[in-house]
Chains A and B, each alone.
Chain A
Amino acid sequence: MVQTLRMLESNVDNKRYDEPNSLNQAIHHTDWFRWKDAIKVEYDSLIEKKTWELTSMPENQQVITGRWCFKLKKDRNGQILKYKARWVAHGLKQEERVDFVETFAAVVKPMLYKCSFRVSVKCGYKIRQMDVLTAFLYGFRMKSYTLSNLIFLSSTQSLFVVYAWLYMGWSKLHSSDIRPPLISLKNWAWSALSLTIVFLSQKIGSFALLYMWMTYFCLLLTNHASQISRTNSAPDSKWQTWGKYLTT
């Protein structure tokens, strides 16, 4: 028996590497073009839903990094149906009682679906499945979160990390020390660094990359402008009410 269990353990290490664990593994995967499409779908979906905006880095704020998760969806016989990629935040970078106070994990209770199956059997209903591409829970955010973003270049398979800052400024708007997020020297330094990385990785001279980079940079500038105008022109009503609500 003990021998059997030892055998089991050696088998646990020989995991199947159908699903890459990181972006790097996915790039070297044989099905990379499929994973790439999956990443694109997820990225486009996040852009379409306007889930984030670029802002400057607030001071004394921990940056929460993220990574890509890859998953194969299979049918009941184990055949591959779909390649899925999802961008997730590193929740482990948060600290309990500092960044969050309570957690919640959604768990399905067997009784729930079994009772609904029973209803469908009794009434002769058909059961259909559906798939929601990007689902969100609506809720009030009590705290601002800063996430690092990973921009991904499809054309060249090269990638570079750009620190873009997602800043839901609700909880900060009510406080007195509003600092308009101007482009500081630090941001310029980061931009220059990223630019260097891009050029190094491409051995200098790819116009497409340069073009994309400039577009991104313009985006950064316009976002800063909109952020400033919003903080200055909305001193009352909605934002202050939100602030009051969030502090109580």
Chain B
Amino acid sequence: MTNLGEVSHYLGMEMDVEVGKQIFLRKTVYLKKIRERFQMTDCKPVSDLMNPSVANSPLPSDQQADWATIKCYQSAIVFLIWPAVHTRPSISYSVGVPNQYFANPGLIYCNLVTPISRYLAGTLELGITFRSDATDELVAYTDSDWAGLKDGQKSTGRYAFLLCWGPVSHQSKQNATVALSSIEAEYMATTEAEKEAL
């Protein structure tokens, strides 16, 4: 067993530690690597994660993507899930939406992946921070849309738990059943969060 000294990277994340003050987690090297791999090193950053008109339109059955496109789409999503789970809660919804059409995306859903990569290209250095001067309480937020995706009419609920201003647990998940009202969708999201809290 060997001592490797103070931690500087952990599980593919870079850690900037100021003892007693703050810990900053980010995935800059990983994001740069996948940007190289997908030949997007000189892409223009955008500020919008999703194109609302694309996300709100139902899946047209006649526009079937070909095999090569589907494969690329799938590999791109797989690379984006990891930062979404660990250091970038903000993209978890926009990764989750194309992920629901993982096996059979129409052409329209393939278009949802590139904006995420371009958004990440502009925000490589962002991550999550734990600060010692924050409150000591566990803070939880939940929210839900109502029939956000036109395909299936199901709602998507999400929650985030914060400790020391850093999100320790977050999720964005489509509900299993159709909500009849927006308040019902909100209740569903709250239930998911309470389950996590327990």
Q: Spell out A's residues near B (CB within 8 Å).
A: 1-2, 4-9, 11-12, 75-78, 108, 110-111, 113-115, 117-118, 120-122, 124-133
Contact = CB atoms under 8 A, between A and B. Distances in A.
Nearest to B25: A117
A125 B10 CA distance: 16
Contact of A117 (B2, B4, B14, B130): B130
B130 A128 contact: no
Interface string B93-114: 0000000000000010011001
A121 B169 contact: no
Given A122-B132, A126-B19, A127-B7, A110 B169 contact: yes
A128 B39 contact: no
B176 interface: no
Contacts of B53: none
A95 to B, nearest CB: 27
Contacts of A75: 8-9
Chain B, interface size category, equals 35 or more
B20 interface: yes
B132 A117 contact: no
Interface string B130-163: 1110001000000000000000000000000101
Q: Is the interface of A mostly helix, strand, loop or mixed?
A: helix
Nearest to B136: A122
B57 to A, nearest CB: 16
A33 to B, nearest CB: 22
B6 A126 contact: yes
A118 B130 contact: yes
Contacts of B9: 75-76
A4 B3 CA distance: 45
A131 B7 CA distance: 12
Given A5-B76, A121-B132, A125-B19, 13 more contacts: A4-B39, A8-B38, A9-B75, A75-B8, A108-B11, A113-B11, A121-B23, A121-B130, A121-B131, A127-B7, A129-B10, A130-B3, A131-B1
A122 B29 CA distance: 27
B39 A8 contact: yes
A189 B132 CA distance: 69
B164 A8 contact: no
A114 B168 contact: yes
A226 to B, nearest CB: 31
B22 interface: yes
A118 B129 CA distance: 9
A2 B110 CA distance: 8
Given A9-B72, A129-B5, A1 B110 contact: yes
B68 interface: yes
B137 to A, nearest CB: 12
A126 B85 CA distance: 25
Nearest to B75: A12
Contact of B164 (A108, A122, A125): A122
Contacts of B130: 114, 117-118, 121
